A and B are shown apart, each in its own frame.
Chain A
Amino acid sequence: GAVVSQHPSRVICKSGTSVKIECRSLDFQATTMFWYRQFPKQSLMLMATSNEGSKATYEQGVEKDKFLINHASLTLSTLTVTSAHPEDSSFYICSAGDPLTSTDTQYFGPGTRLTVL
């Protein structure tokens, strides 16, 4: 149980285009999902907290107008990188917790490698 999927696993796009990444909890419902990114040789960094039915909360330094988050259902959160530029090239990964379990474990998707040309 507690499986999180992400799609796509890899995407290459041209500068100026927008890219949507999906994060799904496959066998549980998640009111809260988290989005992280990882630059080369750096740690996973929290970008934003995605809240079902309400606005996402963003970490300091993350532009909310550039990284649009939608959490329209209890099993799906999407991250849209708008007007992508080469500096947005990174590894993006999501996580979610299963509120029905007694632990605070967060389950991660396999991540999405974004390359902006």
Chain B
Amino acid sequence: ILNVEQSPQSLHVQEGDSTNFTCSFPSSNFYALHWYRWETAKSPEALFVMTLNGDEKKKGRISATLNTKEGYSYLYIKGSQPEDSATYLCAFNRGGGADGLTFGKGTHLIIQP
């Protein structure tokens, strides 16, 4: 059984502050780590697919790092805005595009104006 753990479960952040949260996953048989942003009543939005140890990806104010040897990834949001409020999911993938994803429970982020 694969375990993907995310922490914290929820987070309240003041507008303008920066924040980060964690995803841990099995370090063996690794293929890719996915991050999604999920707003209520919408489709999960793909943020990053990360495959290489030490990888760092950036999309606007959001960035992510990956450590496959120890099995963790961090997601960072710089200068949080109210529109960043969402649930952030990470998912582990062992076999590439032909394999489904194993998800964590997500981090529910609320940005307070």
Contacts and interface: CB of A to CB of B under 8 A. Distances in A.
A108 B43 contact: yes
A16 B96 CA distance: 37
Given A32-B98, A97-B97, A99-B97, A104 B32 contact: yes
A110 B97 contact: no
Interface residues on A, range: 20 to 34
A42 interface: yes
A41 to B, nearest CB: 7
Contact of A109 (B43, B49, B97, B101): B43
A28 interface: no
Contact of A43 (B32, B44, B103): B103
Contacts, number: 58
A17 to B, nearest CB: 25
B57 to A, nearest CB: 11
A106 B106 contact: no
B12 to A, nearest CB: 19
B50 to A, nearest CB: 10
A11 B46 CA distance: 26
B100 A42 contact: no
9 contacts: A32-B97, A36-B103, A43-B104, A93-B44, A95-B100, A105-B34, A105-B49, A106-B97, A108-B36
Interface of A: 4, 32, 34, 36, 41-46, 49, 59, 93, 95, 97, 99, 103-111
Given A44-B91, A99-B97, A106-B46, 13 more contacts: A32-B98, A43-B4, A43-B89, A46-B102, A49-B98, A49-B99, A49-B100, A103-B49, A104-B31, A104-B51, A104-B96, A108-B36, A109-B43
